[in-house]
Amino acid sequence: MTPETSTGLPAADVAVVRELAAQLAEIAALPVQAERDREWQALNDLRPERPMAMIDEVPWHEFSRPGVLAAEELAVTSTDPFTRELEARLRRELYRWRHMRVDMVVRPYLDFGKAIRTTGWGLGIQGATLDQGEGNIVQSHRRAGAVAEADLGSRPRAAVPGR
């Protein structure tokens, strides 16, 4: 049996998350963070000082496959589902900072999304879910009643002025 903290989480998991959070807090305290934050604010205020770049769509499931160089750095060791999620997010943020930082701003906290559950009332997804690969959380949907590609050629086309 593994020792637990007062929260009921495994002590080893909490130690890992604390270590990663300390690394992230150290990066967040760097002077460059305030500078990048100011530059992003200027860009968002439509007073850009220079072109800014960010990488925010990363196929993490592909980085975690055996044989991929990043797999070891991103490997999650926690056992509890809650701490596993925290550890994965912290490891990903640290990985982005080390390898694809561009104009990234590291915050001294993690955002948590809203907890949403459905009551079953209202509109729902009708159609098949199309997985985009093992481990990928992104999914697309084939809608029921969608127009088939073959039918698109037989639809009347709108007149385009000047053509």
Task: List % helix, strand, coil for the chain (3-state, nearest 5).
Answer: 40, 5, 55
What value does the mean pLDDT take over residues 106-128?
79
Give tens-digit pLDDT for 8-66: 999 999 999 999 999 999 999 999 999 999 999 999 999 999 999 999 889 888 887 88
**Residue 131 forms beta bridges with which residues?**
139
Of the listed ranges 92-101, 115-124, 151-160, the one predicted with least confidence: 151-160
The two tokens of residue 5 are 């903290």
What is the rounded distance in angstroms from the CA atom of residue 111 to the CA atom of residue 89?
10
Domain ranges of the chain: 11-99
* Strand locations in the chain (E): 127-131, 139-143
Of the listed ranges 3-12, 64-73, 112-121, 129-138, the one predicted with least confidence: 129-138
The two tokens of residue 36 are 């990048």
Cβ neighbours of 61 (radius 10 Å) = 14
What is the CA 93 to chain-centroid distance, rounded?
A: 9
pTM: 0.73
Most confident of 61-70, 85-94, 113-122: 85-94
